[in-house]
């Protein structure tokens, strides 16, 4: 991929052009004034604690791994790993251990009662939008 700038070229655009072409960077291409950078420490740069942002806090993310099968002795062997993630008042993501029983019924997870061979791995996300309507999506992997 190649890109180039025509017309009046700013120093940063010239650096980008050089980087894309893979050529050496001439000393006179470095901007005279440094760019101002601001570090935000794991938080939103706006206040989202207002109730109008409740849709952000309604998002729940389930990381689901479940499997079961009969062992050699005829007993049912199962293993599960479920994590639940959610967003706090200012949008900070929290993740904690959970269980299969906490996974919403709208998920494709369907544990067989008779211990058939069964495997399920997915990320399930549910939310309520600004109008309160329920939505969900599940990705299997």
Q: Which are the contacts of 56, defined by CB distance < 8 A and separation ≥ 6?
A: 48, 87, 91
Per-residue pLDDT at 140 exceeds 90: yes
Which pLDDT score, from 0 to 100, does residue 52 have? 85
Residue 126 pLDDT level (bands cut at 50, 70, 90): very high
Which pLDDT score, from 0 to 100, does residue 84 have? 98
Residue pair 78/67 in contact (Cβ under 8 Å)? The answer is yes
Sheet holding 118-128, edge to edge: 93-98, 76-87, 60-70, 118-128, 134-140
Give CA–CA dist 141/120, Å, rounded: 9
pLDDT, tens digit, for every residue of 70-117? 999 989 999 999 999 999 988 899 999 999 999 999 999 999 989 989
Q: pTM of this prediction?
A: 0.65
Q: Which are the contacts of 5, defined by CB distance < 8 A and separation ≥ 6?
A: 13, 14, 16, 17
Give CA–CA dist 82/63, Å, rounded: 6
Report the residue count for the chain.
141
Give the mean pLDDT of the chain: 83
């Amino acid at each position: 991929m190649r890109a180039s700038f025509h017309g009046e070229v700013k120093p940063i655009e010239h650096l980008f052009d050089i980087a894309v072409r893979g050529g050496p960077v001439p000393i006179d291409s470095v901007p005279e004034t440094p760019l101002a950078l601001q570090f935000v420490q794991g938080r939103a740069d706006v206040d989202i604690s207002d109730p109008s942002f409740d849709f952000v806090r309604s998002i729940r993310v389930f990381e689901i791994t479940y499997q079961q099968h009969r062992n050699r002795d005829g007993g049912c062997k199962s293993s599960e790993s479920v994590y639940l993630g959610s967003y706090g008042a200012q949008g900070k993501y929290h993740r904690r251990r959970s269980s299969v029983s906490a996974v919403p019924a709208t998920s494709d997870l369907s544990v067989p009662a008779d211990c058939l061979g069964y495997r399920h791995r997915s990320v399930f996300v549910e939310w309520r939008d600004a109008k309160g309507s329920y939505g969900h999506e599940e990705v299997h992997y």
